[in-house]
């Protein structure tokens, strides 16, 4: 590749999301909303990681339904399926194939150190399966298959990205430059949205308390009710401070969705009470999600269109993944296909 081509080559961004539970306002503000701004500048792949979901027991019909819903919500939120490759992990067999090979270049000791494995094993004592243990290897395969440059990850996935880099480096040291070494991507904007019921914890789709999170697909009155119930404090003053995590979270939501600065929001609410704040935050969320929900309903009716996207994007992902997989297979010494 000459210098000009190299400069023109867009960097690859890869991210994965498990199709369990519902996408939340936290997913929208913390991830999706930012991704829309990346679609022209980067070559982006968004993978619905259904293989990873199997590490915990799933109801088959539910898993199928959720997977499709995630894909439709991505598109409804503004990810253009022509510009981004949005696909199911299970439609690209190379993920499993590369994962096996990489598992032979990963040490038990490394996997044993993964804090997420320890946490999940503790939570699922009755089902500590081998997939849960090798989860980071499959994630490394996801990333490395597409010669990914950047991976947008939250705090909880940093250790997994680190092991992906270690595996890639180890492999490259033996076989030459096969994999691009991925880096974490920290978006310039975008707040971390916290649980409405415990604003010291991240808003999570797996929260047992439904009032802790807002779904992208929640109806308006449900949104208003959840915000009304959001935990605040007894200070009675609207400031943006770590001492008032509940209020801070509501302001973060308000500012991110309106693309307004914290100073101007604090100014706006200066002489107002918590009730006013909640009402305006609720209305802001309803308005921000309305177009996404309308688009989602439209897409739901358009079965053929979605099926076509799934097929086309799956084909594109397969073609890219095959290039890396073939190279790896050749390097390790598997016999050529005639
Ligand atoms: N483990 C990630 C999570 O739970 C999901 C994931 C799977 C992922 N493969 C990935 C994220 C590759 C980024 C890149 O959030």
If asked whether residues 156 and 23 sit together in one domain, one would say yes
Number of structural domains (the chain) is 2
Our answer on whether the CB atom of 44 is closer than 6 Å to any ligand 1 atom is no
* pLDDT for residue 244: 96
Same structural domain for residues 253 and 310? no
Q: Where are the alpha helices (DSSP H) in 55-157?
A: 60-76, 94-103, 108-112, 115-123, 130-145
Atom of ligand 1 lying closest to residue 139 CA: 9
Do 275 and 132 share a structural domain? Answer: no
Structural domain of 164:
3-186+303-332
Same domain, residue pair 134 and 227: no
Whether residues 215 and 164 share a domain: the answer is: no
Q: How far apart are the CA of 139 and the centre of ligand 1, in A?
A: 6
How high is the pLDDT of residue 4? 57
The CATH number for 275's domain is: 1.10.240.10
Q: In this structure, is residue 175 part of a structural domain?
A: yes
Catalytic residue among 9, 201, 202, 331: 202
Q: CB of 19 within 8 A of CB of 66?
A: yes
Tokens 């210098």, residue? 3
| pLDDT tens readout for residues 189-229 | 567 899 999 999 999 888 889 999 999 999 999 999 999 99
**Distance of CA 113 from the midpoint of ligand 1 (Å):** 18
Nearest-CA residue for ligand 1 atom 12 is 16
On whether both 74 and 177 belong to a single domain, the answer is yes
Asked if residue 85 belongs to a domain, the reply is yes
Could you say which residues of the chain have pLDDT below 50? none
- Per DSSP, the three-state class of 34 is helix
Residue 156 is predicted with a pLDDT of 87
Distance of CA 336 to the CA centre of its chain: 36
Shared-domain flag, residues 149 and 286:
no
Asked whether residue 277 is domain-assigned, the answer is yes
72 and 143 fall within a common domain: yes
CA distance linking residue 268 with residue 153, whole number of Å: 33
Mutating to test ligand 1, I would choose from 14, 99, 119, 157 the residue with most ligand atoms within 8 A of its C-beta, which is: 157
Give pLDDT, residue 5. 59
* Residues 147, 182 contacting (CB under 8 angstroms): no
27-47 in b/e form (b: 16+ CB < 10 A) is: bbbbbbbbbbebbeebbbbbb
Q: pTM for this structure? A: 0.92
Decide if 205 is inside a domain.
no
Gyration radius from the chain CA atoms: 21
Q: How many helices (H) and strands (E) does the chain have?
A: 15, 5
Query: What span, in angstroms and rounded, lies between the C-alpha atoms of 68 and 89?
Result: 12
Query: Within a domain: residue 144?
Result: yes
Residue 193 lies in a domain: no
Asked if 31 and 109 sit in the same domain, the reply is: yes
> How many Å apart are CA 322 and CA 338, to the nearest integer?
16
- Are 174 and 226 within one domain? no
CATH (domain of 182): 3.40.50.620
pLDDT tens by residue, 58-81? 999 999 999 999 999 999 999 999
Is 201 a known active-site residue?
no
């Amino acid at each position: 590749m000459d210098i000009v081509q190299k400069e023109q080559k867009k960097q690859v961004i890869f991210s994965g999301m498990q199709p369990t539970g519902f996408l939340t306002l936290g997913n929208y503000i913390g991830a999706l909303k930012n991704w829309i701004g990346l679609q022209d500048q980067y070559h982006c792949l968004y993978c619905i990681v259904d293989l990873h979901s199997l590490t915990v027991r799933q109801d088959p019909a539910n898993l199928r339904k959720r997977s499709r819903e995630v894909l439709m919500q991505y598109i409804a939120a503004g990810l253009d399926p022509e510009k981004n490759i949005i696909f199911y992990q299970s439609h690209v067999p190379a993920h499993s194939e590369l994962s096996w090979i990489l598992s032979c270049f990963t040490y038990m000791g490394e996997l044993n150190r993964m804090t997420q494995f320890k946490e999940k094993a503790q939570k699922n004592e009755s089902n500590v399966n081998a997939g849960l243990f090798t989860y980071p290897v499959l994630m490394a395969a996801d990333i490395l298959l597409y010669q990914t440059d950047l991976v947008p990850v939250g705090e909880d996935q940093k250790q997994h990205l680190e092991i992906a880099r270690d595996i890639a480096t180890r492999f490259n040291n033996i076989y030459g430059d096969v994999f691009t070494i991925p880096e974490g991507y920290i978006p310039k904007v975008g707040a971390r949205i916290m649980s409405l019921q415990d604003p010291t914890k991240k808003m999570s789709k797996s929260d047992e308390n439904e009032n802790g999170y807002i779904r992208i697909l929640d109806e308006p009155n449900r949104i208003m009710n959840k915000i009304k119930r959001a935990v605040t404090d007894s200070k009675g003053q609207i400031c943006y401070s770590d001492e008032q995590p509940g209020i801070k979270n509501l302001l973060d939501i308000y500012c991110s969705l309106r693309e307004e600065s914290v100073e101007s929001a604090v100014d706006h609410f200066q002489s107002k009470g918590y009730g006013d704040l909640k009402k305006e935050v609720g209305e802001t969320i309803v308005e921000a999600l309305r177009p996404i929900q309308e688009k989602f309903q439209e897409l739901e009716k358009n079965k053929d269109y979605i099926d076509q996207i799934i097929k086309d994007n799956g084909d594109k992902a397969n073609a890219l993944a095959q290039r890396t997989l073939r190279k790896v297979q050749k390097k390790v010494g598997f016999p050529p296909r005639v």
